[in-house]
């Protein structure tokens, strides 16, 4: 599986058969500028963790152009349907598991808020666990630390987790280290940092703390790819 990070919380996971796009905030994202444009992407599946503009981002344009399957909560799916008529979606809710020909998806809890840029209610925020034939990913979305993360570590063997570390709007470094311990991921990439002044973060502190705790932290630069 190939992972390409676009900055903030946006990333693309590519297998031999499918491409999975998460939280495609690209236009207006200073970190993704020069690395990717929404028009470059034609994913098979788009995951949206919640409705805030820095996660919903370019979802509408990408979905309508590509015909990708949207996986999100019911409110986000029906918002798009009511606005544009787009109906290629699979709505979920917290704790649910869905099965597809390419794998399984569990929608996890996230401790945050969710509304669209126009003020429309965006349902509950969530994270996603994506299980394919080869790898298991956990995209936590925007969240604080929560105790049920321990169950994620018990129930899944996470190959790669994406955890917010930027503080202020989500958990910061200290709680992100706790979260990494709880989910027991083999590898962790920090996200939701250094995009805006409110979330400026010294990632070297995070990486040193991960190393001291015996965990593998991977700092990805926007536009960078890794192979799992």
- Share in percent of the chain as helix, strand, coil (round to 5): 25, 30, 45
The answer for 69, left when phi > 0, alpha when psi is -120 to 50, beta otherwise, is beta
177, two tokens = 């280290």
Res 32: pLDDT: 97
**How high is the pLDDT of residue 28?**
97
Beta strands 225-227 and 97-100 are unpaired
Task: Tokens 């349902």: give the residue.
Answer: 123
pLDDT per residue as tens, the chain (228 positions): 999 999 999 999 999 999 999 999 999 999 999 999 999 999 999 999 999 999 999 999 999 999 999 999 999 999 999 999 999 999 999 999 999 999 999 999 999 999 999 999 999 999 999 999 989 999 999 999 999 999 999 999 999 999 999 999 999 999 999 999 999 999 999 999 999 999 999 999 999 999 999 999 999 999 999 999
* 70 in Cβ contact with 48 (< 8 Å): yes
Query: What is the predicted pLDDT for the residue at 65?
Result: 98
- The burial of 215, by beta-carbon neighbours within 10 Å (0-12 exposed, 13-18 middle, 19 or more buried), is given as middle
Q: What residue ranges do the domains of the chain occupy? A: 2-227
2-227 sits in which CATH class? Answer: alpha beta
- Element of type H or E holding 146: none
Q: How far apart are alpha carbons 144 and 212 in whole angstroms?
A: 22
What residues contact residue 53 under an 8 Å CB cut-off, 6+ apart?
A: 25, 116, 117
Query: Which residues, other chains included, contact 153 with Cβ-Cβ below 8 Å and sequence gap of 6+?
Result: 182, 183, 184, 185
Total residue count of the chain as it appears in this document: 228
Tokens of 34: 């020069």
Burial of 94 (0-12, 13-18, 19+ CB in 10 A): middle
């Amino acid at each position: 599986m190939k992972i390409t990070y676009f900055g903030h919380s946006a990333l693309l996971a590519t297998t031999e058969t499918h491409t999975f796009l998460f939280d495609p905030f690209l236009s207006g994202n200073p970190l993704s500028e020069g690395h990717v444009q929404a028009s470059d992407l034609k994913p098979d599946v788009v995951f949206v963790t919640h409705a805030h503009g820095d996660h919903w981002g370019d979802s509408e344009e990408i979905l309508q152009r590509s015909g990708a399957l949207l996986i999100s909560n019911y409110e986000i799916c029906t918002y798009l349907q009511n606005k544009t008529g787009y109906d290629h979606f699979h709505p979920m809710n917290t704790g649910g598991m869905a099965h597809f020909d390419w794998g399984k998806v569990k929608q996890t809890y996230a401790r945050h808020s969710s509304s669209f840029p126009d003020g429309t209610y965006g349902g509950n925020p969530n994270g996603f666990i994506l299980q394919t034939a080869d790898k298991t990913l956990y995209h936590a979305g925007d969240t604080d630390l929560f105790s049920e993360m321990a169950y994620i570590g018990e129930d899944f063997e996470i190959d790669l987790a994406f955890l917010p570390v930027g503080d202020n709007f989500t958990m910061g470094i200290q709680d992100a280290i706790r979260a990494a311990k709880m989910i027991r991921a083999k590898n962790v990439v920090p996200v939701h940092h250094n995009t805006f002044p409110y979330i400026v973060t010294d990632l070297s502190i995070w990486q040193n703390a991960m190393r001291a705790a015996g965990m593998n932290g991977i700092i990805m630069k926007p536009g960078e790819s890794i192979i799992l």
